[in-house]
Structure 1
Amino acid sequence: MGIPSYERRRAEIVNQTELLVASLDDADLGLQVPSIPDWTLNQLLRHLGHAHRWAGTMLRERLPEIDFSRNRAQQLSSYVGEKPSDLIPWLREGATSLAEVLGEVDQEEMIAPLGGFPGPRVWSRRMTHETVIHRWDAFDALGVPYSLDPEIAQDTLREWTGLAVPYAFQRWPSETAPLAGSGTVHLHATDVEAEFVVDLTGSAPVVREGHEKASVAVRGPVVDLVLAVYRRRPVDGLEVFGDRALLDLVLDRIRF
């Protein structure tokens, strides 16, 4: 299964947001979000909308580097008692604006680059999968059935291996230090052609796509693999072969 195009990701930011807001008409935004227990549904939605706006602002202003001071996605304490009618148009506006600016810039332009990669290309993927995961958080809180297109799901898994893993090593070196030299982890989707190996045998992680023997292998439907690596569901119920302790350590120390 191929990697979604830049245009597909632009469209998917809006599509995933539309799927999210379609479930919010009569929602109680004061619900706690089980997967992020410090947040209410109200705060989760504000987090996502601010993330869209932050990425859009950096791209629109063509910032030469990421400006974390403009990110309001963690400043959530004031959001209490809002209504879906307040948030639905606000969420749509942020997603649409981000998709528009992604269409106005060259995807290879070095605007707000992340990990040495051009910002438009990276943020189109990052905000697609930010929305994918937080839509699951909201649906889980609301008890709404969740589904995800297989092409998008395998790209969510690809992003976790290729961006979340090295980012965690860079951002939280003391937490990830026990992983250096530990072994290899193979993630194998059973319903789509998606296999990734995270090689932790050196001082820094290396990711490869494809099938190979590893210290521990995890097999299951691609959406379940995505939810497991993002710590949204337990590994129980997936097929695990090999060093389960290594898998547990990786999932405990890699966060994104």
Structure 2
Amino acid sequence: MTLLAHERYCDEISHQVDQLRALVTSAADLSATVPTCPDWSLERLVRHMGGALRWAAALVRTRAQEHLPTEQVPLGGGPEAQGDAAALDAWLAETGELVVGALREAGPDAKVWSWTGAATSGFWARRMACEITIHRADAALTVGAPYEVAPDIAADALDEWLQLVEWVQRSGAREWAEKLRGPGRSIHLHATDTAPELNAEWFVELGEDGVGWRRGHEKATVALRGPLTPVLLAFYRRLPLDTPGLEILGEREVLESWLKHTTFG
């Protein structure tokens, strides 16, 4: 598996921040409940995402070698004014400039603490690009706006999610990871609308030894097929499996079990 270029992640963070800002300024109600994160309002979602970006920016800018408490991040919680779309938009704009500037100045190889073994600024560029890609989908679903994402970013977000699940299982960071072990089962994800060179297919094995995965077309216990963006959002539990355009072949309960247990919430 090959990572995208560091500058590609930086560009995507900047693009996604702009897209999220557009949703904020066009939203009729910042207090609307986010359907995919029902404990959050749209404003709470945006403050969470902006806070994560500012935290990552602070880590990278200071070359932190240990965890940085979020309360030490200036304006990490967002603007003081509540329910003010203009203030939230201005805060997001500044946030995007801070994080992208820090990442570009650092380059991909600067040593920076992370909660996985990948302790570099490059880890944070990729993590924040994937994080905002999914949370912008949450915001778009909240306001009923269309959502699309570039194929290379969507495919990389699926790669990263599978890597994070592997890390969780190796590290024992979440109890749910043990529930993914068991007799040989497998999941095949198949994007039907991408160029062959992207190789937008994934084979995920769930065995007694844990989770393993690779890109490619292989017969599995269950397959999820459809356009790449809906496949991405369904695998991140942002769209229901019965979304028009998605197709499930094989033992649906294997996929449902995966979706039930793989969460950082």
TM-score (norm 2): 0.86
Checking the alignment, whether the CA contact within 8 Å between 1:154 and 1:194 is kept in structure 2 is: yes
8 Å contact from structure 1 (residues 153, 222) kept in 2: yes
2:12 corresponds to 1:12: yes
Q: 1:239 is aligned with what amino acid?
A: E
Letter in 1 for 2:89: I
Structure 1 pair 172/156, CA: closer, same or farther in 2 (3 Å)?
Answer: same
Given that 1:107 and 1:118 are in contact with CA atoms closer than 8 Å, whether structure 2 keeps it comes out as no
The reply to whether residue 209 of structure 1 matches residue 215 of structure 2 is yes
The yes-or-no answer on 1:157 pairing with 2:158 is: yes
Alignment length, in residue pairs? 253
Residue 236 of structure 2 corresponds to residue 230 of structure 1: yes
**Shift in Å, 1:128:** 0.7
Bigger Cα displacement from structure 2, 20-29 vs 125-134 = 20-29
Aligned with 2:253 (options 210, 221, 245): 245
In 2: Cα distance, 1:2 partner to 1:112 partner: 22
Shift of 1:14: 0.9
Could you tell me which runs of 5 or more consecutive residues in structure 2 were left unpaired when the two chains were aligned. none
Change (3 A) 1:64 1:110: same
Q: What does 1:41-120 align with in structure 2 at a 5 Å threshold?
A: 41-67=42-68, 81-120=82-121
Distance 2:83 2:172 in 1: 34
Shift of residue 70, structure 1, vs aligned partner: 5.0
Task: Give structure 1 regions of 4+ aligned residues with deviation exceeding 6 angstroms.
Answer: none
CA distance in 1, matches of 2:51, 2:128: 11
SS state at 2:24 partner = coil
* 1:56 and 1:98 in contact (8 A); partners too: yes
- 142-151 or 20-29, which moves further after superposition? 20-29
Matches of 1:171 and 1:38, distance apart in 2: 26
What code does the residue aligned with 1:24 have?
Answer: V
Deviations 1:120-161 (A, max 9, x none): 111111111111111111111111111212221111122112
Task: Name the residue aligned to 2:190.
Answer: 188
Change over 3 Å in CA distance of 1:5–1:129 after alignment to 2: same
Q: Which amino acid aligns with 1:185?
A: I
Q: Deviations over 1:213-253 (max 9, x none)?
A: 22221111111111111111111242222221111100100
Unaligned runs of 5+ residues in structure 1 are none
Aligned residue type for 1:82: G
Deviation string 1:19-54 (CA, Å, 9 cap, x unpaired) is: 111232242211111111111111111001100011
Report the Cα offset of residue 113 of structure 1: 3.3
One-letter identity of the residue aligned with 1:188:
H
Shift in Å at residue 173 of structure 1? 4.2
Structure 1 residues 19-38: aligned runs within 5 Å: 19-27=19-27, 28-38=29-39
Distance in 1, Cα, partners of 2:115 & 2:126: 11
Q: CA RMSD in A?
A: 2.5
Superposition TM-score, scaled by structure 1 size: 0.89
Q: Contact (CA 8 Å) 1:42, 1:82: kept in 2 or not?
A: yes
Cα shift at 1:106: 3.7
Return the letter of the residue paired with 1:234: P
Counterpart in 2 of 1:143? 144
Q: How does 1:157-176 map to 2 (within 5 A)?
A: 157-163=158-164, 165-169=165-169, 170=171, 173-176=174-177
Change (3 A) 1:132 1:173: closer
Q: Deviations over 1:152-196 (max 9, x none)?
A: 111112211222x22443455432322113422111111123111
Checking the alignment, whether the CA contact within 8 Å between 1:216 and 1:247 is kept in structure 2 is yes
In 2, the alpha carbon distance for the partners of 1:208 and 1:71 equals: 39
Greater alpha carbon shift after TM alignment, 198-207 vs 63-72: 63-72
> In structure 2, how many angstroms separate the alpha carbons of the residues matched to 1:174 and 1:151?
31
